[in-house]
Amino acid sequence: MVEFERMKKKRKLHFNVILNSKTNLLYFTLGFTIIILSSIIPIFGLKLVDSAITHDQNKFVHLIGEVKNDDPNPVDNIYAKGILFGKNNSQLGNYSNQVDVHPLSHGETSPFDILVYDKGINELINTFKIEFEFNSTSMEPKRDLTIGSVTSRLDFSGFYYISGRVTNNMNLMSNNTLIIASVVDKNGNLLGIWKAQTEPYNIPPLGSASFTIPVTDKIQSFKLNNYTLYINNL
């Protein structure tokens, strides 16, 4: 319930606005009178799909996750901000990083990885929340690329490698082409975000390039069960 207050002829009139979650209708109440105003218009923007807090083998904390663009327009300059809280909801600090795929068209998803570089607060962290900052744009991303011939293996050293080829289906160059892997365990829980540039990293029109993403954190590599691949370029 949200309460509004308006001054009229030195009298305070109190209005209650109530959202019925079952009918998605907005009700306006004044005294005993109830008036249906309208259906709620959905609020568009970025939607947090998944998030997790992890520790790497070097004892750094990472806030990782995936975000989806629910806005009807493309969005760019997307930054994920993680706010950390200790006991009694005391704020410990906030850290941010740009998401890995940008800009995002409507319906597209990007992983993100926020590094908490202050190890001194590791044991104090009780919970966290993720916020996003972004700009709407009219420019659709030019990212008509496909990934194929994907293989993966765990080698004797404990490193996990994800390899494949990227084909540029456009009639223009794909510059600084980056492949990102969001890796999960057997229960579908996020483990980490890993990335590597293609070789060559500038892919000519209708050309292709190879890539290999090394998962060098042995804590994650032995738990890794599946992954999702994303592409970013300029």
68 pLDDT more than 70:
yes
The sign of the CA dihedral 228, 108, 101, 83 is: negative
Q: Which helix (H) or strand (E) holds 221?
A: helix 218-221
Answer for the pair 65, 52: CB distance below 8 angstroms, yes or no.
Answer: yes
Tokens of 166: 């990227």
- Please tell me what DSSP assigns to residue 174: B
Q: Which of 117, 136, 155 is a domain's end point?
A: 136
Confidence of residue 44 (pLDDT cuts 50, 70, 90): low
d(CA 158, CA 55): 17
d(CA 183, CA 58): 18
d(CA 154, CA 176): 27
- Tokens 């492949």 -> residue: 179
- Tokens 């420019």 -> residue: 139
- CB burial of residue 215 (10 Å; 0-12, 13-18, 19+): buried
CATH number at residue 207: 2.60.40.3230
Pair (33, 18) in one structural domain: yes
- 214: cis peptide before it, omega within 30°? no
Determine the pLDDT at residue 102. 95
Structural domain boundaries, residue 206: 145-232
Give the predicted TM-score (pTM) of the model.
Answer: 0.80
pLDDT digits (tens, 9 = 90+) for 172-203: 999 999 999 999 999 999 999 999 999 999 99
Tokens of 39: 């259906």
Pair (51, 35) in one structural domain: no
Q: Which helix (H) or strand (E) holds 67?
A: strand 61-69
Pair (35, 50) in one structural domain: no
Confidence of residue 70 (pLDDT cuts 50, 70, 90): very high
Pair (31, 89) in one structural domain: no
Determine the pLDDT at residue 84. 97
Q: Which of 93, 108, 136 is a domain's end point?
A: 136
220 residue type, one letter: Q
User: How many independent structural domains does the chain possess?
Assistant: 3
pLDDT averaged over every residue in the chain: 85
pLDDT digits (tens, 9 = 90+) for 211-226: 999 999 999 999 999 9
Pair (163, 212) in one structural domain: yes
- Range with lowest mean pLDDT among 10-19, 65-74, 159-168: 10-19
Pair (50, 130) in one structural domain: yes
